[in-house]
Amino acid sequence: AQSVAQPEDQVNVAEGNPLTVKCTYSVSGNPYLFWYVQYPNRGLQFLLKYITGDNLVKGSYGFEAEFNKSQTSFHLKKPSALVSDSALYFCAVRGRGYSTLTFGKGTMLLVSP
């Protein structure tokens, strides 16, 4: 089985400060890890993914994520938060042999001016 944990329901950060949204996963074999963002009343937008190679993955809108195999984590980061980054963020995992993504419950990011 595969699973994802996002331990924080909400993350609050001031604009201009760095942000981190946490994610840990469980899967057999090598993981394929994804981050998606959902703005209010919108669909899920793909941000970035880790397949193999460099542990630091860069994605859309200045976001990046760090894969840590020993800690089974894939935390989403951004050096300087914007108010427009406020949204619901989902981490997802897909193991080799699995047809689909398993999502975490999501973390609401609130960036204050």
Q: How far is the CB of 73 from another protein (least distance, A)?
A: 19
In the bound complex, what is the minimum distance in angstroms from residue 31's beta carbon to another protein? 9
Contact between 89 and another protein by CB under 8 A: the answer reads no
- Contact flag: residue 45 with another protein (CB under 8 A): yes
Beta bridge partners of 65: 57, 76
Is residue 59 at the binding interface for another protein, with CB under 8 A as the rule? no
Decide if 112 contacts 44 (C-beta within 8 A): no
94 sits near another protein (criterion: CB under 8 A): yes
